[in-house]
């Protein structure tokens, strides 16, 4: 529904009809309903014959009025009001609607001030409009759930924004002139406690987040890409539903605090000032039905301790994923509905495949002997890649394919990530655990020896274009005998560790033993 034409008008709706009393009654009731909805109507009774409105006529004008009023309200609720790009501020003139739910002024570059509101508005799209000021009336849209302020030219967020207590999604991105002070954000967070998604991307004047970010207890996604933040508040670890944290191109970011255990995706690519990363073992805590993706691509200033913590986090996450997938396979075999498989993908600067990998080679293809009488739960793969012009120009996808001694494929090829890697700044280590790849190998494995071949292809999957070979490759087998080691390292309390151990022991036919129980109890006492 488009209200304002390119040339300004005094009315929002133009109605023409020709007919007798029935049409007049209908038009009068329609006029009344539209007026109550805040829409200005112009009626021309002599231009065209009224549309056929059979089915709406009733003998009672009062009933007809109620039907029409409800009809107008229902139509307005279903429509998304889109304005033409030529829209100007004077065309809105502080309009307030009663029933309108969706409004979009996307791309209206001539619109300098926005002053439209609605009692029932749930979605407001202001992306790339020329808005320099948000009117205080925005606070009247108390039912608003989605607000997009991307690409606006305004300098300040109105205080009334904190009145939008129903807001679930707030997108503020690429607002070059916007100043987001810590105190302003603190007041904003206090009011917007229903937020599940918060984007503050490419806001170079955003330097710091307040500690009260922890009040956003429903927040699932936080994207600060391209902002000016130097660190994150310690209280971020209390966001117990946060799954996505994106910090890509945060050039001033120097350190990270402890992060929530619920994180599924942590992207900190191109954070060239980042030096310190905390333990990432916390990210291994919650693995059921999750894919863990962690990228520190081109974070070239990370210190040695942080690189070790990243490797340890990748190791523990992969191990826990493999053990948790025991439950997935068990439920699948019984025909019951089961969780999705757990996957792990990690990227960081580095000069060697992590030392935890039992099999390492400078060759891109090598044999791995599977120990007899062993219960393997998974395989973790790793590759060391150097930058090259071919990768920069064509992108790189990293694959692994297994073969038997006769050269026949065993299982399907697995890749590190679905997106191609391009502009690497120095050597990088890629680590991944693919449960489905492991299953495909186990199903077709007939020998105790497997050949692992790692290769790099372009974005289209073509191997011969780049002529790039990995500098080092690694394979790490995960065995059921590592259960005790897993329980020792998981960042869980004693009761949770012991319960998990008993469940896994029951599935795998393993006993935990009293010594392990005493060790885990002692571990918890030391932590307290």
> Does a structural domain hold residue 130?
no
> Does a structural domain hold residue 39?
no
Predicted pLDDT at 55 = 38
* Alpha-carbon dihedral angle through residues 106, 109, 114, 120, given to the nearest 10 degrees: -10
> Does a structural domain hold residue 242?
no
Shared domain for 444 and 379, answered yes or no, is yes
Predicted pLDDT at 330 = 81
Please give the residue range of the domain that contains residue 306: 283-488
Shared domain for 517 and 392, answered yes or no, is no
Domain total in the chain: 2
- Backbone CA torsion sign across 40, 76, 120, 160: negative
> Does a structural domain hold residue 212?
no
Shared domain for 381 and 452, answered yes or no, is yes
Q: Are 109 and 152 in contact (CB under 8 A)?
A: no
Do strands 133-134 and 472-479 pair parallel, antiparallel, or not at all (unpaired)? unpaired
Shared domain for 396 and 347, answered yes or no, is yes
3-class secondary structure, 28: helix
Shared domain for 406 and 308, answered yes or no, is yes
From CA 206, how far away is CA 189, in angstroms rounded?
15
Which CB contacts under 8 angstroms, 24+ apart, belong to 232-241? 232/256, 232/257, 233/209, 233/257, 234/258, 235/211, 236/209, 236/260, 238/214, 239/213, 239/214, 241/196, 241/217
> Does a structural domain hold residue 17?
no
Shared domain for 291 and 410, answered yes or no, is yes
Six-digit token string for 52: 């056929």
From CA 372, how far away is CA 391, in angstroms rounded?
40
> Does a structural domain hold residue 203?
no
Residues in a beta bridge with 181:
none
From CA 403, how far away is CA 77, in angstroms rounded?
59
Predicted pLDDT at 354 = 95
Shared domain for 397 and 336, answered yes or no, is yes
Taking the mean position of all CA atoms in its chain, how far away is CA 199? 10
- Backbone CA torsion sign across 501, 513, 508, 440: positive
Shared domain for 397 and 358, answered yes or no, is yes
> Does a structural domain hold residue 309?
yes
> Does a structural domain hold residue 328?
yes
Shared domain for 389 and 518, answered yes or no, is no
Residue ranges of the chain with per-residue pLDDT less than 50: 1-9, 22, 45-62, 68, 71, 78, 334-338
Six-digit token string for 189: 């967070």
From CA 121, how far away is CA 317, in angstroms rounded?
43
Shared domain for 392 and 477, answered yes or no, is yes
From CA 90, how far away is CA 111, in angstroms rounded?
9
Shared domain for 382 and 513, answered yes or no, is no
From CA 453, how far away is CA 441, in angstroms rounded?
14
Give the closest residue to 433 by CA, choosing from 471, 474, 398, 381. Answer: 381
Q: Is the pTM of this model over 0.85?
A: no
Q: What is the DSSP string of 469-497?
A: --SEEEEEEEEGGGHHHHHHHSS--HHHH
Shared domain for 510 and 381, answered yes or no, is no
């Amino acid at each position: 529904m488009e209200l304002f034409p390119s040339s300004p008008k005094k009315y929002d709706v133009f109605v023409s009809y020709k007919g007798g009393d029935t049409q007049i009654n209908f038009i009068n009731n329609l006029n009344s309903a539209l007026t109550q909805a805040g829409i200005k109507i112009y009626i021309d009774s002599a231009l065209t014959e009224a549309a056929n409105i059979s089915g709406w006529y009733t003998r009672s004008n009062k009933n007809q009025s109620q039907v029409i009023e409800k009809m107008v309200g229902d139509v307005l609720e279903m429509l998304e009001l889109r304005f033409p790009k030529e829209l100007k501020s004077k065309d809105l003139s502080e309009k307030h609607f009663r029933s309108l739910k969706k409004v979009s002024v996307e791309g209206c570059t001539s619109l300098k001030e926005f002053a439209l509101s609605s009692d029932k508005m749930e979605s407001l799209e202001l992306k790339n409009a020329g808005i320099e000021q948000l009117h205080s009336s925005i606070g009247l849209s108390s039912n608003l759930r989605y607000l997009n302020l991307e690409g606006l030219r305004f300098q300040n967020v109105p205080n009334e924004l904190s009145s939008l207590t129903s807001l679930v999604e707030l997108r503020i991105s690429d607002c070059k002139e916007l100043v987001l002070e810590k105190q302003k954000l603190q007041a904003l967070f206090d009011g917007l406690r229903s937020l599940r998604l918060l984007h503050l991307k490419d806001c170079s004047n955003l330097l710091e987040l307040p500690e009260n970010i922890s009040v956003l207890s429903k927040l699932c996604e936080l994207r600060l890409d391209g902002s000016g933040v130097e660190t994150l508040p310690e209280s971020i670890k209390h966001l117990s539903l946060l799954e996505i944290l994106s910090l890509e191109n945060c050039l001033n970011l120097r350190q990270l605090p402890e992060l929530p255990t619920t994180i599924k995706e942590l992207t900190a690519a191109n954070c060239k000032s980042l030096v310190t990363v905390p333990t990432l073992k916390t990210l291994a805590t919650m693995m059921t039905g999750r894919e863990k993706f962690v990228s520190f691509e081109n974070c070239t200033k990370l210190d040695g301790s942080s690189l070790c913590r990243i490797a340890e986090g990748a190791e523990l996450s992969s191990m826990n994923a493999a053990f948790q997938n025991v439950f997935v396979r068990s439920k699948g075999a019984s025909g019951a509905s089961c969780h999705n498989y757990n996957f792990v993908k990690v990227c960081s600067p580095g000069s060697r495949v992590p030392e935890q990998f039992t099999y390492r080679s400078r060759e891109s293809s090598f044999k791995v002997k599977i120990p007899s009488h062993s219960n393997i739960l998974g395989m973790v793969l790793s590759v060391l890649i150097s930058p090259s012009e071919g990768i920069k120009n064509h992108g790189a996808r990293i694959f692994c394919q297994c073969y038997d001694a006769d050269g026949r494929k065993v299982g399907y090829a697995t890749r590190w990530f679905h997106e191609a890697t391009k502009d690497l700044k120095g050597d990088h280590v890629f680590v991944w655990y693919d449960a489905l790849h492991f299953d495909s190998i186990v199903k077709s494995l007939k020998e105790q020896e497997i050949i692992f071949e790692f290769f790099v292809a372009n974005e289209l999957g073509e191997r011969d274009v780049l002529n790039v070979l990995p500098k080092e490759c690694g394979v790490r087998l995960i065995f059921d005998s590592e259960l005790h080691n897993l329980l020792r390292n998981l960042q869980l309390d004693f009761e949770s560790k012991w319960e998990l151990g008993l469940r896994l022991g029951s599935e795998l036919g393993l006993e935990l033993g009293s010594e392990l129980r005493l060790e885990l109890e002692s571990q918890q006492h030391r932590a307290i």
